[in-house]
Amino acid sequence: MSLKQTLLDATQAGAVVMKNYFDKQFTISNKEGINNLVTEADFKSEEAIFATIKANYPHHFILSEEAGALEQNSEYKWIIDPIDGTVNFANGIPICCVSIALEIDGVIEMGAVYNPFLGEFFFAQRGFGATLNDKIISVSKKEKLAESCLVTGFPYTYLDEPNGPLQVFEKLIRNGIPVRRLGSAAIDLCWVACGRFDGFYEHKLQAWDSAAGFLIVEEAGGKVTDMKGNYYNPYQPGIIATNGHIHNDLQRVVNGGNL
């Protein structure tokens, strides 16, 4: 089976588990920090995804949120979040998804993000554009930060640094810029990619949160960098993803500048 089909099938397999557990009774436990949840469904989704990948590519490297790194001597790495937006999922809020990226020789080449509750399947392959339910998508065309609609997230463990999540959020809100907080970074990125949001920023993410979504934004014509404007690497914490037009202005504000 091709790499692409395996990615699509693995994403679907995780989503089937999500739907089976959604709004039902299941065990919930805490990871480090308050409300940093993991559920029985996270583990079952992860198992279904692993089974699909290993059936076709048993020797590939896997990096997943719950299991950690299953290291193999391979240039292929699958980066998996079996449920992105676990707090939403645990509370019956249907803003959550499966997110899987495929990295080859250190470069993210494919990514899929699927929210089965909204019926939205995002996919991108490097150099081939991005799609939502097989239809080509593109970022918004807004050119002014002041007229933009943004989305962000707040990390469970706050970095002790100036211009942290709350400070940036307050600055934007006080200047009349709407900023949403959905609770799923993968969905945030995909909604930038399809033009619903004009920009997304977050101070602290893990690779499994953003590896698929950032490629989807890029392939939809957007721009993704770290907080300082360098080319985005999902293995470092900060991210700014926009339609490109507002990128420099949002980056300036995130780093303490004025609108």
CATH number of 145-254: 3.40.190.80
Low pLDDT (below 50) residues in the chain: none
Average of per-residue pLDDT values in the chain: 92
The fraction of the chain above a pLDDT of 90, given in percent, is: 79
What beta strand segments (E) does the chain contain?
Answer: 28-30, 37-39, 61-64, 68-70, 76-84, 97-104, 107-115, 120-125, 130-132, 135-136, 150-152, 179-180, 199-202, 223-225, 239-242
Q: What pLDDT sits at residue 39?
A: 75
Q: Which two tokens stand for residue 14?
A: 């995780």
Q: What pLDDT sits at residue 161?
A: 72
Residues forming a β-bridge with 243: none
Q: What pLDDT sits at residue 158?
A: 62
Q: What pLDDT sits at residue 115?
A: 98
Domain residue ranges in the chain: 3-136, 145-254
Q: What pLDDT sits at residue 65?
A: 75
In the CATH scheme, what architecture does the domain 3-136 have?
A: 2-Layer Sandwich (3.30)
Prediction pTM value: 0.94
